[in-house]
Structure formats: C-alpha cells, structure tokens
C-alpha cells in the first residue's frame, strides 16, 4: 500500500529528528516576532503576556504586530500595550486600501531589522522558552526555514476530538516529512526564517492568494535547498491555538486550504496531497458496491482498519512526545466519516468560495 509506505517514511523521519536541548550559552541572535492580526481582542491579552515574559534578553527581540483593519477591540489593546512600554514593541495598522494577512506580513518584514524572523498568529499561547529554544537551534544549524509544531486546544466533545486528532495528524506529517528530508507541510502559526531569505523577494508568499503564506514559503525554500529546512523537535516550542468552534468554522478553514492548492508547484507536495486524497476517498468504492453485494462490508472495514494502523504509527509518537492526550485510538472511529469530510472539503475548496476573518473570498481574492 503506497499510503502506508508514505506513513512509514514519515515515521522514520520523525525518529531521525534529534531532540533539541538549548545550551546554557548566552544567545546573540536578534529576533523579530511577526504577528499579523485581525479581530483577536479575545486572545491578545494572553498572547502579549506570554511574549512579555519570554526567557530571552529584552534587547534581542522586538515584537511587531500588524493590525489588518480589526473591527473589535484589537487596535485599542495594541495601542494600550504600546503606550505602556514601547520598547521592543511595534504596532502597525494597515493603511486603507491595503488588507490581508500577506500584506500584513509584507509590512512587518519591511520594518523588521533583526537577523531571524519568527512568525506566529494572534490567537496562540507560547511557552516562556519559545524564543530561547528557537534562537539556540538557529545559532547551531542556521537553516533556511524552521518548522515547528502547533496543536489545537479548547473544544471538547466528539467534534473537538476530531479537530484535534486531524490537525495533529497534519503536524505529525509536517515533522516526519521534514525529518526525512522531504518536507511537505508547515504552519504559519509557528515558523522561523532568516530575514535575508525573504529580503528583496516581495512575491515569496504568493500575494495574489489570500492565504497560504506558509506553504508557498516552504515551496520556495525547497527550490533553494530542501536540506536546509529543519524541524525543531522540542517541547518548549509547541504553540497552542483554539480549535474551530463549530463545524462551519472548520469547513471554512478547510475550503481556504484547498482553494490555494491550485498554485502548488512542488512535485513532492503535490504527490503527497494526491496520495492522501485518493486514500481518503477510496472507501467510497466498496461503499457503493455494498448496494449490490453485502460482502463488500468486510472489505470496507478491513481497508479502514489498515489505514488507521498506518495513521497511528505516525500519530502516536507525535502525541506522546508533546504530551497531547487526544485519545488517538478514537481515530479508528472517525475513519468512517473521514471520506465524507474530505469530499466536502474538496468540493467547497474547488468552488473557490470561503469566509475568513469576517471577510468573503472567491478564488483567493476578497469580494
């Protein structure tokens, strides 16, 4: 089974990644933390507090928030924090006529003067050794791109568990593929790269698409040197973000992710995505055959069980390492609905329509 071979390849990649332990030496890297935000007033106080309490020299990092025309209390909170202590803290509201996450990133990068850019989102929670661990890893390896883990928290019940397990599977694939030297995924909520690799490259994030800054950056870095893309394996760099609050929010997120896939050009990424898609939709074949012959039920159950085993081979060590108690064996129960979830995600994404941050988009552009 080709899908199983890919999962084993990723598991081997995960096993090959050494755990990073930050040395006791004093850091020397100047960091810019770049955070594009829109309507994150609920999460900002917690995020700002975690940034202000980093175990990293204050003179070596600057926080750059770029506000993408928030309609809630986000701007007021950022202004309040800036007035309280403007040192190592910059707040930039996007001007009228310019909007979107990629425009916010471009604006932040134009103001950044540090050596290392660390990118995250406005709704995450960070550990106090987050920056120190990233800086130590960068000073040791000097990679072009540092991929790091993100986990969903919050939402309880069956729906919350499904969201957490599915997203953890994506992050496990990101880690394992990077460890194997063939990275296919990353997440912009936890990413780092030297400022010099993006300087003078305004289209690096594929600005004509509303989302996908992380994946398009990964795609470009692979063209330069995929061997200098590293996964940082450390519990200190795990960031958490709230799981989607509803099925509608989850599906809109997936529509957005699928809609950008038409611009992927990396063969490895395309091959992995197609393999996952075909494997996810394959149960419809015996499922349809059940209408004519009940014996196909055993084939369907066997297929889903084998797929679950391969998924768990990669997922369980990832969850165990980060102490994420997401009940991984529940994944077996979700295999029956997963083909429908993928089918609807694909159909919605290919339609080109989705909502994001109280905005409507069609084919990657705001309506």
The residue out of 225, 243, 261 marking a domain boundary is 243
Are residues 239 and 275 located together in one domain of the fold?
no
Are residues 23 and 151 located together in one domain of the fold?
yes
Res 310: pLDDT: 94
Whether 223 is in a domain gets the answer: yes
Whether 140 is in a domain gets the answer: yes
Q: Are strands 89-93 and 61-67 parallel, antiparallel or unpaired?
A: parallel
Are residues 41 and 184 located together in one domain of the fold?
yes
First CA to last CA distance, the chain: 43
Number of Cβ atoms within 10 Å of the Cβ of 51: 22
Q: Which domain holds residue 66?
A: 10-243
Q: How many domains does the chain have?
A: 2
Are residues 357 and 312 located together in one domain of the fold?
yes
Are residues 228 and 316 located together in one domain of the fold?
no
Res 211: pLDDT: 65
Are residues 215 and 356 located together in one domain of the fold?
no
Are residues 336 and 229 located together in one domain of the fold?
no
Q: What is the C-alpha separation between 318 and 340, in angstroms, rounded? A: 26
Q: What is the C-alpha separation between 174 and 310, in angstroms, rounded? A: 16
Res 194: pLDDT: 95
Are residues 156 and 281 located together in one domain of the fold?
no
Whether 40 is in a domain gets the answer: yes
Distances (CA, A) of 7 to 12, 145, 180, 227, 284: 9, 23, 11, 20, 21
Are residues 82 and 225 located together in one domain of the fold?
yes
Query: Quick one: DSSP state of residue 251?
Result: H
Whether 163 is in a domain gets the answer: yes
Are residues 239 and 284 located together in one domain of the fold?
no
Are residues 278 and 236 located together in one domain of the fold?
no
User: What pTM, to 2 d.p., does this model score?
Assistant: 0.92
Whether 319 is in a domain gets the answer: yes
List the pLDDT tens digit at each of the 367 positions of the chain: 789 999 999 999 999 999 998 776 788 899 999 999 999 999 999 999 999 999 999 899 999 999 999 999 998 999 888 888 778 889 999 998 888 888 889 889 988 989 999 999 999 999 999 999 999 999 999 999 999 999 999 877 899 999 999 999 999 999 999 999 999 999 999 999 999 888 766 566 655 566 678 888 999 899 899 899 999 999 999 999 999 989 999 999 888 888 887 778 888 889 999 999 898 888 776 555 555 665 667 777 888 889 999 999 999 999 999 999 888 788 888 888 898 999 989 888 888 787 877 777 776 666 5
For the stretch 97-114, pLDDT in tens is 888 888 889 889 988 989
Q: What is the C-alpha separation between 22 and 43, in angstroms, rounded? A: 28
Are residues 34 and 125 located together in one domain of the fold?
yes
Whether 17 is in a domain gets the answer: yes
Angle 339-343-349 from CA coordinates, rounded to 5°: 145
Res 97: pLDDT: 84
Place of tokens 């568990």: 161
């Amino acid at each position: 089974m080709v899908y199983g071979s890919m999962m084993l390849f990723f598991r081997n990649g995960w096993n090959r990644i050494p755990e990073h332990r930050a040395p006791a030496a004093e850091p020397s890297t100047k960091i810019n933390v770049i955070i594009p935000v829109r309507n994150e007033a609920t999460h900002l106080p917690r995020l700002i507090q975690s940034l202000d309490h980093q175990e990293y020299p204050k003179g070596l990092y600057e926080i750059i928030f770029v506000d993408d025309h928030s309609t809630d209390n986000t701007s007021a909170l950022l202004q309040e924090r800036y007035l309280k202590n403007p040192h190592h803290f910059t707040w930039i509201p996007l001007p009228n006529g310019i909007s979107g996450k990629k425009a916010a990133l471009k604006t932040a990068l134009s103001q950044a003067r540090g050596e290392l850019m660390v990118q995250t989102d406005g709704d995450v929670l960070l550990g106090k050794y987050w920056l120190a661990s990233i800086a130590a890893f960068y000073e040791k390896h000097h990679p072009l791109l540092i991929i790091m883990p993100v986990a969903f928290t919050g939402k309880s019940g069956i729906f919350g568990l499904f969201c957490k397990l599915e997203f953890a599977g994506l992050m496990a694939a990101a880690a394992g593929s990077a460890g194997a030297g063939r990275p296919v995924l990353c997440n912009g909520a936890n990413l780092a790269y030297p400022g010099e690799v993006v300087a003078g490259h305004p289209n690096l994030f594929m600005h004509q698409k509303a989302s996908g800054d992380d994946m398009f950056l990964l795609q470009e870095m692979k063209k330069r040197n995929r061997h200098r893309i590293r996964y940082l394996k450390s519990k200190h760099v795990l960031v958490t973000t709230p799981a989607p609050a509803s099925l509608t929010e989850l599906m809109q997120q997936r529509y957005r992710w699928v809609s950008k896939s038409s611009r992927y050009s990396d063969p490895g990424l395309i091959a992995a995505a197609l393999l996952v898609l075909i494997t996810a939709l394959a149960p419809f074949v015996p499922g349809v055959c059940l209408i004519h012959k009940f014996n196909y039920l055993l084939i369907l159950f066997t297929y889903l069980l084998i797929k679950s085993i391969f998924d768990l081979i990669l997922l369980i060590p990832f969850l165990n390492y980060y102490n994420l108690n997401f009940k991984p064996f529940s994944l077996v129960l979700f295999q029956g609905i997963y083909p429908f979830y993928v089918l609807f995600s694909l159909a919605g994404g290919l339609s080109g329509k989705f909502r994001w941050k109280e905005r409507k988009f069609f084919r990657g552009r705001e309506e």
